[in-house]
Copies of this chain bind each other. A is one copy, B any other.
């Protein structure tokens, strides 16, 4: 008598939502007052993929509305972690560059978090990551293309 509950994707998304909450809290506990996960995420993004990007490119990478990113960038700029320069190729646009202080803060945060996650890292086996991470990327891509 299959009161066939919701498909497993609901369980997955439910769990993902809670983990997202918890990891954000964990991250923000290690970070100066008013510095929030998106701040770190943007810095990390710029380090890994290179700076000199436009705000819109960054916003799209995080599936985040551009007005939200404006707010995040203004916080980063106020702390001297990024610089906004005009985009020579498009006067409407800007380019975002990391400062040395920005790189330093990003590195320090990773250090601090890695230390904080020391107890967790060993519990994660490479084999699991090999399955889970691609799966998550697939799921993200599916959700992304689903919104017309």
Contacts and interface: CB of A to CB of B under 8 A. Distances in A.
Interface string A130-148: 0111011111101110110
B62 A18 contact: yes
A108 B131 CA distance: 33
B129 A8 contact: yes
Tell me whether chain A's interface is mostly helix, strand or loop, or mixed: helix
- How many copies of this chain does one complex carry? 2
B15 A23 contact: no
Interface residues of A, number: 57
Given A110-B6, A117-B9, A146-B119, A136 B23 contact: no
Contact of A44 (B6, B22, B143): B6
